[in-house]
Structure 1
Amino acid sequence: MTDTHSTNERALIPTGHDAASYTCVRSLARRGIGSIIASEKDGVPAASSRYCDESVSVPDPREGLLAYRDELLELAARPDVRTVIPVRPEDSYLLSRYREAFAEHVSLVVPTMEQLLAATDRLQLAAAADAAGVPVPETRLLADVGDWSEDLLIKSRYNFLTDDSLEHLTPDDMDVVKEIHHVVHEDPPDPEAVRRSMGHDPIVQEFIHTDDEFMFTGLYDHGEPLATFQHRQIRGNSYTGGGGVYRRSIYEPELERVGRALLAELDWHGLACIEYMRDAATGEYVLTEINPRMWQSLPSTVRAGADYPYYYWLAATGRADEIDCTYELGVGTHMLHGELGYLLSVLTEESPYVERPSVPGTVWEIGRSIVREPRFDYLALDDPGPFLAGLRTVLPGSVADRLPVHRLADVVSRRPRRS
């Protein structure tokens, strides 16, 4: 690895316990670029990396978005900070909404607010996909549904809830609703109860019976692709879906076509992670959603050779012409604590539409795949701090409190902190 202090330039990376932020730190360090991890949380894995130059404490954006914004602007104003990399929903929203304020200090590669809202309002996104000729589930507001006899699911209309989408919120408010309800025909939902739980009138989509799930990612410059990447999701956070925890890099021409078609329709600028599912009946790649930021499975992307953190840096610093996106096919990687989450979902979750795998079969498949492809998001022999810090976040509190993982992480990382 290159010495992270070989240049005086740094990227600001706001984050929680996200694997993507650690990947950004390592990626940039290989190029001699420093990083500053900013978080409201304790024990952030990326901050425990020996390659992280500095970690700082910031206000919790869910408790007050404006105080969080002001702290990030203060950090962005430092002369050594060149850009800010969006990893979380909070930051993708904040950087687009206050793009002009941040642009006084740093260079960003993020969508306009109009583009952002078109992508993160799933009702608008479905219309854009339809206009682009990209298959998308039938999508309606909950208020417009009266017949529950079809296979349906309910989820948030918005990737995040802010005053741009809901009148009762203020500029200081920010929330993410991750609830997904698989509708049971014999027991249809109470619409008012759902609205109270989700805080708005959500969307209802037809449930697509799939035989596989996929991801298409891009870094775009005003409608033109600078880099694209694909993977097949073998296991997600849950057996019913979610972010990828075991994935393998691929290239499918039709997946490339629908991914590019959607981003062209949106005239996209910045990062995009698009999730697709393959319809078991038609073989079509059907749109699930788009996220305008780095993605959960970024470690897998970079491991295959598509170095998005560095691509983002190049685009932000006026060197987009140096991006040469090629990657190796067939590279499989695991998020170890995500694999545990997948197993727990088999033990505890139910869906009327997705058959639950057997527990012994799941244990066997996870173990076999780890032996066959021992590549992991956090676990690195030259940098054990992030894995040790991450271990504390997934262990039961009574167990984690007895383990000196933070002290061990500090011993191996050797980076300055400030509050």
Structure 2
Amino acid sequence: MKNKAVVLGTNYYIGLSIIRCLGRENIDVISMDYEKYGTYGSKSKYLKKQLICPHYEKESEKLKDFLIEFAKNEKYKPVLYPTADQYCEFIDKYLLELRKYYHITMDKKGFWTRVMDKDELYKMALKYNMPVPESVSIKEENFIEKVKNNIGFPCLVKPTDSPKFVEVFREKLFICNNINELESVIKRIKKENLDIIVQRKISGFDDQMYTFDAYLDKNSNITHWVTCRKHRQFPINYGASVYTEQVYEKELYEICAPFFKGINYKGFGEIELKKDANTGKFYMIEINARTTNLNALLDKVGVNFPYIAYREMIDKPLEGYYIDYNSKVYFRYLQEDLMAIRDYLKTKQISIYKILKSLFNKKAPAIFSIKDPIPGLYYLIYKLNLCKKTD
């Protein structure tokens, strides 16, 4: 393949999974990181080269110039991959300039940022009849009264800008059981000048969380898709997936495909949904606009989304397909899954028998790979603080 792939960020396993998916297809993959320390993904045998670049937030203008300068020296236009929400926001900010030098799946400036904003996403959902939990924005008049009358307790306090919220509070959301708790949380959030929405809590355990992962072409038509079901998250109940199974759930396609088409989505996207344990109805929770942390699972069951995107970007699209069976393969992020297991057992939400039984399922590990072992070894060294900050 003549076009190189540029991956922004290898200090998390999403970047590593993209590198493996592309490198196996004989694509030259270049990673760009703002420091070397902790970038275990860059140790993959499938990576051609790692470049140290300016920080995406502290020096965003310099990073934009760095990327453009790199692409100017390439004979063929590289394909650009963000690995985190912050990189999506960076690309959004400079999309019109970057698209002159890079293949990027999205063509509307600011669109990724909009779909990641909970308030904006809620408005889109209402416009295109996508089921979402009832929500109230803190900007609305009579906010507290609307929470009492329309949402009820317990309720979820969620940020409109997740990356900034997590950076400040180290939490994805807050749960409030009464008005006093809600008002206390709002005071904390207002001090940080962050916006929030209050959302109805959908009944059901963590295994009622599902994902619809899809690739949409330049005409916003779905060409490839997979559905999955979460089993464990960390932090438990409202965290990121750490143990997830690929299962075929056709209803998710019927719900999500019209919405994706309606908003003219392009490229890879993942809609997270929760199934109400009382009614069986699915509700959209959020959209992930970049490669998901389940990418190792999606790849293992036969849908290589980074490569699908690459081929379409260079005008050599792959034939569409989807997984219409239960593969019985599970994604696992070992470190955080062990912490999740500890907390599930402590709160008596899962039995020891169920935990032990899950250990014998066929897995798609987040990091460790027999065919590409060095990143896993480096990850262990990094976590044990045996590598120096200057490495």
Interval containing the TM-score (normalised by the shorter chain): 0.7 to 0.9
CA distance in 2, matches of 1:176, 1:57: 29
CA distance in 1, matches of 2:73, 2:245: 39
- Deviant stretches of 4+, over 6 Å: 174-177
Q: Which residue of 1 aligns with 2:92?
A: 96
Deviations 1:375-412 (A, max 9, x none): 3122111211111222245x3xxx432x79x99xxxxx
Is this contact kept in 2: 1:245–1:336, CA < 8 A?
Answer: yes
**Are residues 1:127 and 2:123 paired?**
yes
**Are residues 1:337 and 2:328 paired?**
no
User: Deviation of residue 193 (structure 1)?
Assistant: 2.0
Q: State the AA in 2 paired with 1:314.
A: R
**Are residues 1:49 and 2:49 paired?**
no
Which SS does the other structure have where 1:24 is aligned?
helix
Q: Which residue of 2 aligns with 1:416?
A: none
User: Deviation of residue 65 (structure 1)?
Assistant: 2.3
CA distance in 1, matches of 2:95, 2:57: 20
Which SS does the other structure have where 1:85 is aligned?
strand
Is this contact kept in 1: 2:77–2:103, CA < 8 A?
Answer: no
**Are residues 1:138 and 2:134 paired?**
yes
Is this contact kept in 2: 1:238–1:346, CA < 8 A?
Answer: no
Q: State the AA in 1 paired with 2:258.
A: A
Q: 1:123 to 1:375 in 2, by over 3 A?
A: closer
User: Deviation of residue 333 (structure 1)?
Assistant: 2.5
The runs of 5 or more residues in structure 2 that have no matched partner are none
CA distance in 1, matches of 2:164, 2:53: 21
Is this contact kept in 2: 1:110–1:271, CA < 8 A?
Answer: no
Partner of residue 222 from structure 2, selected from 204, 222, 225: 225
**Are residues 1:357 and 2:340 paired?**
no
Alignment of 1:204-283 (within 5 A): 204-211=198-205, 212-220=208-216, 221-283=218-280
The runs of 5 or more residues in structure 1 that have no matched partner are 1-6, 163-173, 349-355, 408-419
CA distance in 1, matches of 2:13, 2:348: 26
Is this contact kept in 2: 1:11–1:81, CA < 8 A?
Answer: no
Q: 1:111 to 1:158 in 2, by over 3 A?
A: farther
**Are residues 1:316 and 2:313 paired?**
yes
Partner of residue 54 from structure 2, selected from 38, 48, 59: 59
CA distance in 1, matches of 2:156, 2:227: 26
Instruction: Count matched residues.
Output: 373
Please say which of residues 366-375 and 297-306 is displaced more in the overlay: 366-375
Q: Which residue of 2 aligns with 1:170?
A: none
CA distance in 2, matches of 1:89, 1:262: 21
Q: Provide the identity percentage.
A: 17
CA distance in 1, matches of 2:354, 2:235: 15
Q: State the AA in 1 paired with 2:138.
A: L
CA distance in 2, matches of 1:17, 1:286: 32
Q: Which residue of 2 aligns with 1:165?
A: none
Q: State the AA in 2 paired with 1:67.
A: K
Q: TM-score, normalised by structure 1?
A: 0.81
Partner of residue 39 from structure 1, selected from 33, 36, 39: 33
Deviations 1:218-245 (A, max 9, x none): 2212321122221111112222132221
Q: 1:365 to 1:59 in 2, by over 3 A?
A: farther
**Are residues 1:184 and 2:184 paired?**
no
CA distance in 2, matches of 1:132, 1:101: 31
User: Deviation of residue 178 (structure 1)?
Assistant: 4.7
Higher relative contact order (CA 8 A, sep 6+): 1
Q: 1:175 to 1:225 in 2, by over 3 A?
A: farther
Q: TM-score, normalised by structure 2?
A: 0.86
Q: Which residue of 1 aligns with 2:155?
A: 152
CA distance in 1, matches of 2:30, 2:77: 9
Which SS does the other structure have where 2:144 is aligned?
coil
Which SS does the other structure have where 1:283 is aligned?
coil
User: Deviation of residue 184 (structure 1)?
Assistant: 2.3
Q: 1:175 to 1:72 in 2, by over 3 A?
A: farther
Q: 1:100 to 1:300 in 2, by over 3 A?
A: same
Q: 1:175 to 1:272 in 2, by over 3 A?
A: farther
User: Deviation of residue 112 (structure 1)?
Assistant: 1.1
User: Deviation of residue 47 (structure 1)?
Assistant: 0.3
Which SS does the other structure have where 1:371 is aligned?
coil
User: Deviation of residue 81 (structure 1)?
Assistant: 5.4
Please say which of residues 74-83 and 123-132 is displaced more in the overlay: 74-83
Q: 1:358 to 1:277 in 2, by over 3 A?
A: closer
CA distance in 2, matches of 1:77, 1:177: 39
Q: 1:111 to 1:202 in 2, by over 3 A?
A: farther
CA distance in 1, matches of 2:244, 2:319: 24
Which SS does the other structure have where 2:181 is aligned?
coil
Is this contact kept in 1: 2:333–2:365, CA < 8 A?
Answer: yes
Q: State the AA in 1 paired with 2:122.
A: A
Q: CA RMSD in A?
A: 2.8
Deviations 1:171-193 (A, max 9, x none): xxx99985411002274232222
Which SS does the other structure have where 1:62 is aligned?
coil
User: Deviation of residue 312 (structure 1)?
Assistant: 0.8
